[in-house]
Every structure is written in structure tokens, then in C-alpha cells.
Amino acid sequence: MTAKKLLCLGALSGSIWAQTPVLPTIKLEDALERARKYAGQIQSANLALLQAKEDTVQTQAARLPSLNAFNQFIYTQPNGGSSGVFVSNDGVHVYNEQAVVHEELLSLLRQGELKRSLAAQAVLKAKTEIASRGLNATVIQDYYAILSAERRKTNLQTSVAEAERFLDITQKQAKAGEVARADVIKAQIDLRQRQRDLRSEEHTSELQSPCN
């Protein structure tokens, strides 16, 4: 999922690119947080790093001594004599208790596996940080590009509204004989130019919309 798509999910449905200008309700910090949470490359890098950490833990654990214990009680029903019902047993009541401690002494000298695991973990950590920085840069760039485009469109809409009011006032003044007809034509030309600018900006916004 790209950073622009993540920004689209972070804003209200269609609020950024709607006909009525509505600034995005998502903050930059929230956009960065959601990007790190949902971006596929970051998730893959984090999973690989977690796996490398677990490999390191297992490698370190394999170097530790192991302890195996065996506990057993065999009960044979006595028949009143010195031997039990089952003569194959050593006695009527048999208790077995065994413990085995094992440690591979050469593992203390062999550092290759542990160093290899630590090196792999460090490499994956660096890759995760690089991916996170790249994603942050992309999100910040797209965020302010969208915000800048929306504000340009808002300014153009305000400009069109002002031109419409100015044309209306000029027409009324022309009817009253206060201004010349040429002033009305100039106001009409100015309004059409601002309307063209607004349509051009809206078309550009639609092409650059992250939701497309």
C-alpha cells in the first residue's frame, strides 16, 4: 500500500477532494503512525527483524547447559511374601530418580553462530530503519502536496466568489449609470478567467488524488 493510499484512508471519505473545500482532518503525526502501521514494506521488515531476534535468542539458549530429570515409582501389589506378584520387578516398591546435566564445552569456544545471528539482526534492524525513514519522507511530501493543492483550490473558490460579487455590483452600477459598459465587460472577463483557473485546479486535483 502506497503512502498516498494511506493518506487517503486517513482522511474522511472524499473530504480532501470534495467539491466543497474541507481540509483534511488527519494530522501529520497520525498519517505517519498509520503509514508505519499499514505499510507492507515496514511490516515485512519488522517481521524479519523479530525473526532474527528470536534466532539470536535460540542460538544463545543452545549454548546453555541442559538438565534432564527422570522420576519413576513402580508399585507392585505384595502377596505377603518377600517377593511381589510380578517377579520381574526388583522389589515390591521401586523408586527411580535420575538427573542428567549436559553441556557442550566446545560451544563456549564457538562464537560463529552467535556472531552470525547478531550480525543478521543488526542488518535487518538497519533495513527497518531505512525503510521507515523512506516511508516518512514519502508521507510528509505527499501530505503537504495534498494540503497545498487543497488550499490553492480553496483560494481559487474564494477568488471566484469575490469576482461574482464584483460583477454583480458592477452590473447594478452600470444600470444606474454610475459606471461604463466597459467596466462590466472587464468584470465578466475577470470572472471567466478565475473560473477557468478553478476548473483547471480541480482537474489537476482529481488526477493527483491518492484515492484514484
Q: How far is CA 24 from CA 98, 100, 146, 159, in A?
A: 70, 67, 9, 21
How far apart are alpha carbons 11 and 17 in whole angstroms?
Answer: 10
All 3 cell numbers of residue 195? 473560473
Instruction: Kindly compute the dihedral angle of the four CA atoms of residues 41, 43, 16, 202, in this order, to the nearest 10 degrees.
Output: 10
Cβ atoms < 10 Å from Cβ of 68: 9
Q: pLDDT truncated to tens, each residue of the chain (212 aa)?
A: 555 555 555 544 344 444 444 444 678 888 888 887 777 777 788 888 888 888 888 887 777 778 788 887 777 666 666 554 554 566 667 777 778 877 776 666 667 777 888 888 888 888 888 888 888 888 888 888 888 888 888 899 999 999 999 999 999 998 888 888 898 899 999 999 999 998 888 888 777 665 55
CB of 191 within 8 A of CB of 212? no
CB of 186 within 8 A of CB of 166? no
- 0.75 exceeded by pTM: no
